[in-house]
Chains A and B, each alone.
Chain A
């Protein structure tokens, strides 16, 4: 996935990942962003969450996980991670979480440090 770059020296770099519609409601999709694997989720209330896409437990594809409003559950061994913080609620190591939002033209913008 090609990404565009904004420069914002104060708070890391903003990357445009394309239209929100690429992600079905309630699901996630994976993006390669500046060498990082990022899973972006579109919650049922329309808001977005972004976190690292590789499960720290056994490398499972987090973007294929099942979500609700607070956690994502990795499809391989059902470890759960808070969508806000990346902290595991089941004793695994944490995922990294990234700020993410949709701009006025409904593009996904994620901020990586």
Chain B
């Protein structure tokens, strides 16, 4: 439990501000406080917040991205602990409020504290609904190991670490709604097979009718997720941990984990215990006030307003604004009249939008439907008295903005109804955007209106990424990015600056990688300057494109590449990694992390002789000499007399190993030997981004093979597992199992084939952790292991050519490639130095 400030709710002498206490630190509680602060509420109020979870406030909508590994848990926080400090808010995180004494105006929490309030806001949110299923709980009343809810950051972390343990092969998700499908898709990215068991007749039945549900099912099944509808889970099988689920009217499913996503229930216990009016949720009036309680407000998923309980984020934003108007007195006339819920989201990679009715209810209702299951497209619109009263769109979100607005405002509709579904021969999507009002909200997470985006564009910012940075539009859950792009294009009136990096391999040559490679090959372009001359607009060079082109050409032409050194980044010109003070770091090759007394002695002598300010062990099991001036590099290399370890390039870096069977009593394979062989074979090959490898001698994985670009694990029986696409840096991802093979030679063959495929297909600077999920592990297995596209021989030959073209770059020490290659460029003034330890 964390209390940010030592003071509790007791008054500080002289502080006459009203004491505002907020129960709940989720999206609703924090948003309400933000709205209050925006109205100058800090002048009138001293704010204390209680949060059940031991964290600051985070974006719950993004948990599915955390589950899938697209986002790390740290990236979804909306307000860091600093925010509370800066705004002078006392946060009790990890503290649960048990009871409110509304007569004494005190809040009692489970840390034994009684906190007085003048104004109280209840924002306790919801929790996962756990259906009555046999075997869900242990006799001790805890969830059976392997069963998870999907509501909090801890739930999500728990799922990820459980799914990543060995032998977790299959998961069942109970619930085929929005959250269940997100969970299923997220779990798949950890290499787990997923079944979705849904009690409804079709998927997402809260948002769409059976026809849309059928199309969605097809799209979801195409992702490899098995779907069981009209299936009720009757029991969880397995006494000590999950081993399967039992279904009514269907065979049991064996599985290692179960995720329950069967809906949410509002958290109303505090309100009930404290005698506040609760029906389906805490009852509030149009001022978001609890009836007959002048100083108690409630907001978010825990409230019932005019009979409605909302489980979406947009109504919460509207409620928080009205609440803040009343708490601060900014607008005593503000009223909340309910929200017309329109959802627009990406579920498991499928665009889904839904609003109002799912199907016609009256004989006079019109129903316009288009269905194209093979493409996963379904559109349905319900019209009453020439107004839209409901719509469902799947797989094509182009008309969503217009339809949402027409639904919200009851706009008159075109006579020709089909134009509601498609843009027919008109100017395309722009019409839809042009029809939007300025105050229409484009980004629901960050509350950015069309007008705000338009103003930013008119202010001179004409790239999508620039506008997103400036307004934060599209930076929440990301589902509105397409609409943001459309608004930017419309506002810029055709003068939008394309974000070239989006599609081009490098910004200065307007071609995607495949087309660029074809052009280079057809025209025989063997140097970077030749590529610019032939393919860049006006033949213009582009500094930011040079490094990527140099890498690509070297990969394509190997020994025939014409090496123009000006195309290289400084690191590749001098074969060392530039540091903040303009000096360089030197990392000699230490294959497999294995060294010798002779090498260590030489390294020590070099460190002495050149007064190396810092000698550091790297994460890749090598030794780094830091702070070497450029002009010393050739002599340092000569004295080391070791090859380059390539710790500076976009290239194959290193192979980390564990000691393996030679010494380790658990080892099942000779990991050091294989690691050294892999490093000897692929040393220095350039690639779109760096490649870090590892070989572990047993599934204990001491070399961390599961989080490497290519990771190898020896398993019992003399077999080797090959994982690809792992990462444990800025991004964390468990690698996908590419293959399990019988001998080290096959490991080298398949690892090389994978790396060559990656070199040829990945975008510049795209690490394998993005590349592998983008192309899909099934596809990689087909191409690399099964040779389904007949590319194997060609990939192997191309890799062999690169291997043969290897030359140790540190050999240039005796014969500089260019005049003054190692001459200092260091400014002579005093610069911020890397501290010497």
Contact = CB atoms under 8 A, between A and B. Distances in A.
A61 B570 CA distance: 10
Interface in A43-102: 44, 53-54, 58-69, 71-73, 75-76, 78, 80
B825 A29 contact: yes
A32 B832 contact: no
A24 B818 contact: yes
B540 A69 contact: yes
B580 A30 contact: no
Contacts of B571: 75
Given A67-B566, A75-B570, A53 B542 contact: no
B546 A66 contact: yes
Contacts of B578: 61, 64, 75-76
B828 A75 contact: no
A21 interface: yes
Given A21-B819, A64-B578, A72-B543, A37 B829 contact: yes
A106 interface: no
Given A23-B819, A44-B529, A68 B825 contact: no
B823 A64 contact: no
Contact of B831 (A28, A59, A68, A72): A59
A61 B529 contact: no
A92 B819 CA distance: 30
Contact of B566 (A25, A30, A61, A73): A25
A61 B573 CA distance: 14
B140 interface: no
B562 to A, nearest CB: 13
A56 to B, nearest CB: 11
A39 interface: yes
Contact of A26 (B540, B564, B824): B564
B825 A64 contact: yes
B819 A37 contact: no
A53 B578 CA distance: 16
A10 B608 CA distance: 52
Contacts of B566: 24-27, 44, 66-67
B547 A27 contact: no
Interface string B529-545: 10000000000111110
B567 interface: yes
Nearest to A26: B566
B218 interface: no
A29 B820 contact: yes
A60 B825 CA distance: 9
Nearest to A63: B825
Interface residues of A, number: 35
Interface string B510-552: 0000000000000000000100000000001111101100000
Interface in B50-96: none
A22 interface: yes
B565 A53 contact: no
A53 B825 contact: yes
B828 A37 contact: yes
Nearest to A78: B544
B827 A22 contact: no
Contacts of B569: 66, 75
Contacts of A30: 823-827
B230 to A, nearest CB: 56
Contacts of B580: 58, 76
A62 B578 CA distance: 12
A30 B544 CA distance: 21
Interface residues on B, range: 20 to 34
Contacts of B543: 65-68, 71-73, 80
Interface string B801-831: 0000000000000000011100111111101
A68 B827 CA distance: 22
B500 interface: no
A75 B826 CA distance: 12
Contacts of B570: 64-66, 75
Interface in B625-642: none
Contacts of B291: none
Most interface-central of A24, A32, A44, A76 (chain B CB within 10 A): A24
B827 A53 contact: yes
Interface in A1-36: 21-30, 32
Given A24-B566, A26-B564, A69-B540, A59 B827 contact: yes
B582 interface: yes
Contacts of B541: 44, 68-69
Contacts of B582: 59-61, 64, 76
A83 to B, nearest CB: 10
A61 to B, nearest CB: 4
A29 B823 contact: yes
Contacts of B828: 32, 37
A27 B825 contact: no
Contact of B546 (A32, A54, A60, A68): A68
Interface string B574-613: 0000101110000000000000000000000000000000
A32 B569 CA distance: 23
A24 B827 contact: no
A72 B825 CA distance: 14
B572 to A, nearest CB: 10
A37 to B, nearest CB: 5
Nearest to B831: A59
A28 B566 CA distance: 9
A58 B580 CA distance: 8
Contacts of B529: 26, 44
B717 to A, nearest CB: 49
A61 B827 contact: yes
Most interface-central of A25, A28, A60, A64 (chain B CB within 10 A): A64
Contact of A24 (B565, B829, B831): B565
Nearest to A30: B825
Nearest to A60: B582
A68 B539 CA distance: 11
Most interface-central of A59, A66, A72 (chain B CB within 10 A): A66
Contacts of A29: 820, 823, 825
Contacts of A61: 578, 582, 825-827
Nearest to B539: A69
7 contacts: A21-B819, A22-B820, A29-B820, A44-B566, A62-B825, A72-B543, A75-B571
Given A24-B818, A69-B540, 6 more contacts: A21-B819, A24-B565, A24-B566, A61-B827, A63-B825, A68-B540
* Closest 6 pairs between A and B when the two form their complex, measured CB to CB: A26-B566, A68-B541, A63-B825, A61-B825, A24-B818, A54-B827
